[in-house]
Amino acid sequence: MELCTLFSGSSGNACLIRCGDTQLLVDAGVSAKRLVGALRNLDVDPGELSGILVTHEHIDHIRGIDVLSKSYNLPVYANEGTWAAMEPKVERVALRNRRAFQRAQDFYIRDINVQPFSIPHDAADPVGYVLTSGKCRFAMATDMGYAHPDVLETLKGCQGIVLESNHDEEMLRRGKYPARLKQRILGRKGHLSNATSGELALKLAQSGTRALLLAHLSRENNLPELAFSTVSGCLSAGQVEPGKDIYLQLAPADGASALIKMG
């Protein structure tokens, strides 16, 4: 099983997961043209995708879905709350390609078992995903206001995780964002800070996670080197050495990340 992000951040998010002949996108938050280009750079034919999983309806996660689905006849998977919220933005997704699931119900897309789980974020019914094939488990865990205990429990045992490290709290507090937006980001339905991501990363590493891809970094309120050093420092303080005990890498805002491969 293989995973890499194609785009990551407030300007757009998309992640590719591959297992055998099964190829999935999690979110499609940039234009279809850019998504197609990114996929072809990895020798992936967009028409051979098995589907698109949607975490929630914010535009940086769904911008390219309707055109991509219509152009390549791709099924789109989202829970009922997310479908209702994003309906006006994805009108070109054909009815036959609209797949709704229950929030706590796992299901299969060809070779991959998909387990949605609730995340604390300011959307209709946001979810992360655990994706399993055989003994290999990957997870998508971004756009979370805090590390809910249920999320931690769900993520335990996942070998590879795309984990949010959105902002540095001091940069955000001193930055130019309006007070209301700052409060939204810092709130319990906002985004994970570097420090909170580091605390969660340590717990995950101690439970068996072997690879972490830090994602959804803010361009305005974070720096890649700051996110990496903060999370790396939290791991080292807990006697988990990045590069030795765990693979730690950053998801670029634009362009494919390093490939995480397990199994």
Q: How far apart are CA 118 and CA 95, in angstroms?
A: 25
Flag whether the pTM goes above 0.95.
Answer: yes
Determine the Cα–Cα distance for residues 110 and 89; give it in Å rounded to an integer: 27
Structure tokens at 11: 């300007």
88-107 mean pLDDT: 95
Q: What is the pLDDT of residue 104?
A: 82
Check residue 263 and give its pLDDT: 77
Say if residues 222 and 174 touch (Cβ distance below 8 Å).
Answer: no
What pLDDT, in 10s, does the model give residues 37-57? 999 999 999 999 999 999 999
Instruction: Read off the pLDDT of residues 4-14 as tens digits, 9 standing for 90 and up.
Output: 999 999 999 99
Segment 180-190 shows an average pLDDT of: 97
Asked if residues 155 and 140 have their Cβ atoms less than 8 Å apart, the reply is no
What residue ranges define each of the domains in the chain, with the CATH number in brackets? 2-261 (3.60.15.10)
Contact 54, 68 (CB under 8 A): no
Determine the average pLDDT of the residues in 206-220.
98
